[in-house]
Amino acid sequence: MTCDNLKTGVISHPREGDIVQNKKYEDFGNHYLTVIMPAGVRNPKQKASVESTVGKIATAIIAKLRNEVYHSLEEIKIAVGCKLKDFNDAPFQKREGSRTEVFNEVERKHLRDLPSTPYEVAEWVYGHTINLDCHVAYKTNRYSAPYKFVGKKVDIKITDSLVEIYYNSERLYTHKRLPDYVKYKWSTCDEHLPDKFHHTEWDDERIKNWAYSIGACTGEVVDRIFTSVRVKEQGYNSALFVLRLSKTYSSERLEISCELALERIRSPRYKNLKAILSSNQDQVFLSKKETIKSKELNQSVQGYVRGSQYYSGGDQ
């Protein structure tokens, strides 16, 4: 495809050397299996046919519709489509046939079908690792990839509707993108998971035993993590991240932070507990608990106490 040197599409077109295109503009051509070859700089003859066609389209469609009034984009599309069909069906002035006939009889057989999905402007994220749970993370959500690529670095292509995972420029899988307002969800293809996960070092029972050895609240947090995932292996990393906080802040503080988090959040995660511990909210919470407990203890030790005069005879 020969195009103009539009600044938004062609970054550099030197007289000697490689043409540098905008990455998304190049992706557009790759999506439709089209090679984009910008016309030579200050060489209008290379694009004369295109410029002529643009002028004819402007006359046949835009000029004829310039006085019409439309109330929706859909109405404009229908009107433009009708005028375009009239333009293509109109007979040539200097030869037999029309543009529609030439397309159907000559050009169509040389064309390939369009991709099943239209091109979307995409964002690329590079160098993400596929975790032991066969998922790669994007923002707060996780997307599965074939288990044989566990530990490999992959690139993620994100559009408004899809998340595509690539390894060495080969697409491994395409997921429907989870909305940005959805947090800590998993998009999993069952075929990506092996028949059995082989974790010799950790399993869910050992993780839960460690959690309950710290305290009941920590155990409850880990239980809720495993309850929130489809397969238990998906909870390994999340649970271990939580438990490793005990090595940084002590088991006692982790237990208190889990108790506080459970009062506020349905299924606390690492970032919630980390925020509590790093800001010492657990210490404030513990201090308040001890104060309330002390007051309750004082209130329970109440009654009538006779004075010393009663026992010494006094006035009574």
Secondary structure of 77-128 in HEC code, one letter for each residue: HHHHHHHHHHHHHCECCCCCCEHHHHHHHHHHHHCCCCCCCCCCCCEEEEEE
Q: Are 239 and 207 in contact (CB under 8 A)?
A: yes
Q: How many Å apart are CA 218 and CA 216, to the nearest integer?
A: 6
Angle formed by the axes of helices 204-214 and 236-243, nearest 10°: 30
Residue 133, SS3 per DSSP: coil
Q: Partners of 192 in the beta sheet?
A: none
Task: Identify the segments of the chain with pLDDT beneath 70.
Answer: 1, 13, 16-17, 42-50, 195-202, 296-316
Q: Are 13 and 41 in contact (CB under 8 A)?
A: yes
Number of other residues whose CB lies within 10 A of the CB of residue 205: 9
Q: How many Å apart are CA 20 and CA 259, to the nearest integer?
A: 57
Output the pLDDT for position 8: 72
Output the pLDDT for position 44: 63
Structure pTM? 0.43
Output the pLDDT for position 199: 47
Q: How many Å apart are CA 60 and CA 75, to the nearest integer?
A: 18
Output the pLDDT for position 223: 94
Sheet holding 135-138, edge to edge: 135-138, 141-144, 186-187
Quick one: DSSP state of residue 250? Answer: -
Q: Partners of 157 in the beta sheet?
A: 124, 164
